[in-house]
Structure 1
Amino acid sequence: MSVPGDPLAEARELAEARGRAVELAERRLANARADARSLAQANEKLNATLREARGSLVGLREQLEALSNPPQAHGMVVGVPGEGLADVSVGGRVLRVAVVPEVSGDGLQPGAPVLLNEAMMLVGLAPEAAQLDVVLVKDVLADGRLLVSGGGDDEHLLTAAPEASSAQPGQSVAADRRAGIALWVVERTEVNDLLLDEVPDVDYADIGGLGGQIEQIRDAVELPFLHRDLYARYQLPAPKGVLLYGPPGCGKTMIAKAVANSLAEQVGGGVGSHFLNIKGPELLNKYVGETERQIRVIFATAREHAADGRPVIVFFDEMDSLFRTRGSGVSSDMESTVVPQLLSEIDGVEGLSNVIIIGATNREDLIDPAILRPGRLDVKIKLDRPDAASAAEILGKYLTAEVPLRTPGDPDPGRHSEPDLRHPGERSLGGPGEADPGEPDLRHPGERRDLTPTQYRRQLIEATVEALYATTDENRFLEVTYASGDREVLYVKDFVSGAMLANIVGRAKKSAIKEVLAGGPDGVRLEHLLGACADEVAENEDLPNTTNPDDWARISGRKGERITFMRTLRGARQVNP
């Protein structure tokens, strides 16, 4: 306890009081800082909550504005009369509306889809319409408008948008018929795929064994184009069509291609004709009237190409698949409308100037007689199976001078067998188990001079023909029984075709290539050709249809007396009497 009046004690007490005051102030400052931190954290949370609330309010306001916006109408521009104006078709009505500056320009063309607000102002471009009509162009008027048919007897006049300005009669266009505008050309691939609008690279020189038939078709097809003045002087009309018929693989399609190529070379210097290759079975369609429509499109295309005087070949392959005899009951009733459509195109009101129809078939007996009468398919040319001389000519087209040949005098260390001194006419295909005599010497026993490659090639061909056309027991193929009870044995030669001969040469070349790859000698030998003949015949020995022998015989070119029974004489299916 301090003594009253003692200055030191009073100073001490004063210092202690000030210390306690400073300590209290520091505690209060620390508490204030803690409170400030708490308030700052609370304030930050409040700010975050306010920001979230503001974002939610903005989103709700946008949704509210979107819900409160009036609907916009879809329309299609049909014309642009002036700057800032557009004629728009909306729901079948045509309105002249103002255009906001943001969408004016090149985008506003006839056929452009647009949006209109509640005040009927054009405010933007719209996406393409989800559904449009597909109509067929029947004619193009002088002012550029299109006369179209939309099914049945309905016809409409449409304004062509820029994308549809190139539409031609017979083409399909997408259109908005309520707006009266055609938008663009619709490419019908199912029709375009049927048309081969180019000249094939096949020449008459590529075809062997058909000299007489080639002369016939050249007289019928080429002369009217190459000598128009003479035909006019004699008042002789050009044939409208040619029918090529015969067994499969005998050159019908090749002749049709060669005709187109020859016309192109002689009329217009290589670009003077068109070849429309119609794949007959692909024209068939399950929808009523669709096949007929495609036939109309094909002939419209032919007339378009022929308008400038150049010949157009319309080639119907497998003609019997489309134009069968009406009322025969062989197929459905489809031919009752398809055949008249073809007849009306051939000789109807619209002419077929400069258009030649070539039909090819294996079953000419199934084609409607109205198509085959004179004045339609005027010329009928039969392409039969090649005889021995024709077969040699065909083989020469494939076994050319450029093909490597191995002559008998060439060294061959891998062969030691004795040469076959038989004359080529004494050979046949041989039967199973017959020994291979080795590489034959193609020279006659009385000839002992060396063969040139040309002579060897010719004798190779002769030996191959002899092997195929020999009427030996080894070459017996079928025995047929006719309705009269007579029997006949058919040999391999009765089923030879140009395609078969080409395949034989191809097999022989492949055998020669495999021999070279195995380290053997180079060149095609007679052994390769005879082996190819045997393989080709063996591959086809199971093909005769013994269940329906008469139908098979007609397709194969046997058009005589009806065949009631047939048995094979070769291979695993050989039937013993």
Structure 2
Amino acid sequence: MTQDFQSQPTERDYQALERQFNVLRDKLRQIDKQLASATQNNTRMVSMLETAKAEILKLKAALEKDGQAPYSFATLTQINPRKAEAFGANAVTEETVDVAYQGRKVRVGLSPLVNISSLSPGQEVLLNESLTVVAALGFERTGELVTVKELLGTDRALITGRADEERVVKLSGALLSQKVRVGDALSLDSRTGYALEKVPRSEVENLILEEVPDISYHDIGGLGPQIEQIRDAVELPFLHPDLYREHGLKPPKGILLYGPPGCGKTLIAKAVANSLAARAAERSGQKETKSYFLNIKGPELLDKYVGETERQIRLIFARAREKASDGSAVVVFFDEMDSLFRTRGTGVSSDVETTIVPQLLSEIDGVERLDNVIVIGASNREDMIDPAILRPGRLDVKVKIQRPDAEAAADIFAKYVTVDLPFHQDDVQAHDGDPQATVDAMIQRTVEAMYSTDKSNEYLEVTYANGDNEMLYFKDFNSGAVIQNVVDRAKKYAIKDLLTTGDKGIRIDHMLRAVVDEFREHEDMPNTTNPDDWARISGKKGERITYIRTIVQGKAGQEPGKTIDTAPNTGQYL
């Protein structure tokens, strides 16, 4: 009895079995879920493989079909991506493109091998026999040359072509990613009406140098008062516009720099742009502030075709307004201004100035304002410039750049003769080994030799209409360009001595010899037979000159001095 009772299961055993059963049942459920997920994944993989197989077969068929020649060329005009139709959510249109083909516009399909995102309007494509795009090519490299007159939105432009014919065209995909400006030259595909690419035109771009020269006022010697006058006229309105508005004062629109050749007119114009950029950077607290210098080479604007010079002037000021629209300072510099804008009615064989001058006047004070744009003109014949340009309100400030006196010449010499140059040991020892003292003594001796009024420096004898005579010396024809040439000659002589004798360094004798040789090369008169014209060029003003006699040739012992109208071999003027 006791053994039978002990073999019967207890309540605890039933509970243990129940727990084991529940664990097994949970495992079975997990296995069922995993099996269902595996079945689903398997079904998905089968579907994907079938889809891939279908795509491969489709691409294979397309490749076999599209790879058969011949092909036709067409130009892409519009892209039509896939989109849902309005009458049904499930109905969609296939990707298509519009092309210009054989003089007509055709909507064609795309091969599966062509990605629609790689296409751009104006691009060339290849069509197979069924008129399906099978390949994308580049843009046409040839076309008609046209000029942008006006931009119409972001993708169209009004252009002018042959015989000033105007036309509205579309911009190709290549141009949409570039900055197209008024005046740009474009290549036009006249069949499709697409402008394809920008064409650099050297005859225009060479006239407009947009980089700011690396020249400051500190690089210019002997022109302190003139520089101060220019800085007051140019920099104050740009740096303190609020004060000018408060006082009701308008900034000057232009500056005329006039005077003899080689005295620094072009250097000053370049320094203006550099100084404006530096001052604007100081005011804004930035390291650099952009400014622009448009250097217009005067005579190169002249063109044999009527209206071309005026068009280029309009282009120059359009470019200046564009650059100044963001607040940057723009300097428009007309070098040799008398060659372009001479007095109307003075032309002997042409009358181009009758339209060129009014074009400049309308640009300076026309309907369109010139904000942040400064016009600077340079000329050594200011008497030939049209008076309408020089009146107040146009070129307001007129600065005469005179020939340097002895003090100014020493200042200019100091820009070229510096302590870092190699000087001869004898000259340095003569000044106790002090390079700066050597430089100062060398400059002083050279200036004294140049500005001496003894017989060795006599150059011209001038007779005025009232009978008075005046002796002109070499100093009366000195300029910054001559001084630079003298220093360059002295350096060349020092190099030749080093190569021949082994003595290294510049000597005072080199400088004095350079002065003599420089003046000897320029002993001839200007290439003119009119004494009045010569007086205007050389910078001497006053009584009318009736007779000029050269002195240098007589001193050289070759032949007596001659009048200007009989002196042969006339060379460049100083």
Among residues 543, 547, 560, which one is paired with 1:565 in the alignment? 547
1:147 is the counterpart of 2:146:
no
Q: Which residue of 1 aligns with 2:561?
A: 575
Paired with 2:335 and 2:209, the residues of 1 have a C-alpha distance of: 13
Measure, in 1, the Cα distance between the counterparts of 2:110 and 2:502: 84
Change (3 A) 1:450 1:80: closer
**Aligned match of 2:96:** 85
Contact 1:77 / 1:113 at 8 angstroms: preserved in 2? Answer: yes
| TM-score under structure 2 length normalisation | 0.75
Contact 1:84 1:100 in 2 (8 A): no
- Rounded to whole Å, the distance in 1 between the matches of 2:378 and 2:308 is 23
Does structure 1 retain, via aligned residues, the 8 Å contact 2:262–2:481?
A: yes
SS at match of 1:391: helix
Q: Give the 3-state SS of the residue equivalent to 1:222 in structure 2.
A: helix
Q: Please state whether the residue corresponding to 2:546 is helix, strand or coil.
A: strand
SS of match in other structure, 1:516: helix
Residue 536 (structure 1) aligned with residue 511 (structure 2) = no
- 97-106 vs 398-407, which moves further: 97-106
The letter of the residue matching 1:204 is Y
The alignment partner of 1:170 has SS state of coil
| Number of equivalences | 473
Instruction: Provide Cα deviations, 1:185-241, integer angstroms capped at 9, x if missing partner.
Output: 222222111122111111111111100000000001111111111111111111111
Say yes or no: does 1:396 pair with 2:414: yes
SS in 1 for 2:494: helix
Q: Secondary structure at the match of 2:229?
A: helix
Flag the structure with larger Rg: 1
CA distance in 2, matches of 1:453, 1:114: 73
Mapped to 1, the partners of 2:267 and 2:529 lie a distance apart of 32
C-alpha distance 143-191 of structure 1, shift in aligned 2 (>3 A):
closer
The aligned residue for residue 147 of structure 2 is 136
The residue that corresponds to 1:352 in the other structure is: 370
Partners of 2:390 and 2:297 in 1: CA distance: 20
Q: SS state of the match for residue 565, structure 1?
A: strand
1:194–1:278 CA contact under 8 A, matched in 2: yes
For 1:33-432, list aligned pairs within 5 A: 75-82=74-81, 83=94, 85-90=96-101, 93-99=104-110, 105=116, 108-114=119-125, 132-150=143-161, 154-165=165-176, 166=178, 167-268=180-281, 269-330=287-348, 332-406=350-424
Change beyond 3 A, Cα 1:75–1:334: farther
* Long gaps (5+) in structure 1: 1-70, 412-440, 442-448
Partner of 1:508: 490
- Please state how far the C-alpha of 1:139 moved relative to its aligned partner: 2.9
Inter-partner Cα distance in structure 2 for 1:273 and 1:489: 47
Superposition CA RMSD, Å? 3.0
| Displacement of 1:85 | 2.6
State the alpha-carbon separation in 2 of the partners of residues 194 and 546 from structure 1.
Answer: 29
Given that residues 220 and 267 in structure 2 are in contact (C-alpha distance below 8 angstroms), is that contact kept between their aligned partners in structure 1?
A: yes
- Output the CA distance in 2 between the equivalents of 1:477 and 1:203: 34
Aligned equivalents of 1:238, 1:496: Cα separation in 2: 34
Shift of residue 381, structure 1, vs aligned partner: 0.3
Structure 1 counterpart of 2:108, which letter? V
In 1, are the aligned partners of 2:170 and 2:194 still within 8 Å (CA)? Answer: yes
User: How far did 1:74 drift?
Assistant: 5.8
1:410 & 1:120 partners in 2: Cα distance? 88
2:311 partner letter: R
**Matched-pair contact (CA < 8 Å) for 2:257–2:378:** yes
Which residue of 461, 470, 473 corresponds with 1:491?
A: 473
- Looking at structure 1, the residues matched to 309 and 549 of structure 2 have their Cα atoms a distance apart, in angstroms, of 41
CA distance in 1, matches of 2:498, 2:441: 23
Question: How far apart are residue 121 of structure 1 and its match?
Answer: 5.9
The answer to whether the Cα contact below 8 Å between 2:427 and 2:508 also exists between their aligned partners in 1 is: no
Structure 2: distance between partners of 1:546 and 1:76: 62
- Do 1:91 and 1:178's aligned partners in 2 also have CA atoms closer than 8 Å? no
| Matched residue, 1:457 | 439
CA contact (8 A) 2:427 2:507 kept: no
SS of corresponding position for 1:480: strand
Larger mean Cα displacement after TM superposition, 305-314 or 108-117: 108-117
CA distance in 1, matches of 2:518, 2:112: 78
Mapped contact 1:207–1:394 kept (Cα < 8 A): yes
For 2:322 and 2:137, the matched residues in 1 are separated by 38
| SS of residue in 2 equivalent to 1:169 | coil
Of 482, 490, 504, the residue aligned with 1:522 is 504
1:477 corresponds to which of 459, 471, 474? 459
Residue 41 of structure 1 is matched in structure 2 by none
SS state at 1:267 partner:
helix
Tell me the alpha carbon deviations over residues 393-426 of structure 1, each in whole angstroms, 9 at most, x when there is no partner: 1111111222233475767xxxxxxxxxxxxxxx
Supply the AA of the counterpart residue of 2:401. L
SS of residue in 1 equivalent to 2:80:
coil
Provide the secondary structure at the position in 2 that maps to 1:352: coil
Q: Which moved more, 1:269-278 or 1:402-411?
A: 402-411
Going from structure 1 to structure 2, the CA distance change for 1:396 and 1:358 (only over 3 Å counts) comes to same
Q: Which residue of 2 aligns with 1:438?
A: none
Tell me if structure 2 keeps the 8 A contact 1:550–1:562.
Answer: yes
> Does structure 2 retain, via aligned residues, the 8 Å contact 1:546–1:566?
no
> Which segments of 5 or more consecutive residues in structure 2 lack a partner in the other structure?
1-69, 82-93, 282-286, 564-574
Residue 331 to residue 209, structure 1, CA distance change in 2 (3 Å): farther
What secondary structure is seen at the aligned counterpart in 2 of 1:401? coil
Residues in 2 aligned to 1:574 and 1:278: alpha-carbon distance in whole angstroms: 44
- The two structures have a TM-score, normalised by structure 1, of 0.75
Deviation of 1:540 after TM superposition, in Å, equals: 0.7
Percent sequence identity over matched residues?
Answer: 56
Question: In the alignment, does 2:521 pair up with 1:554?
Answer: no
Q: SS of 2:388's equivalent?
A: helix
CA distance in 2, matches of 1:263, 1:138: 31
The residue type equivalent to 2:479 in the other structure is S
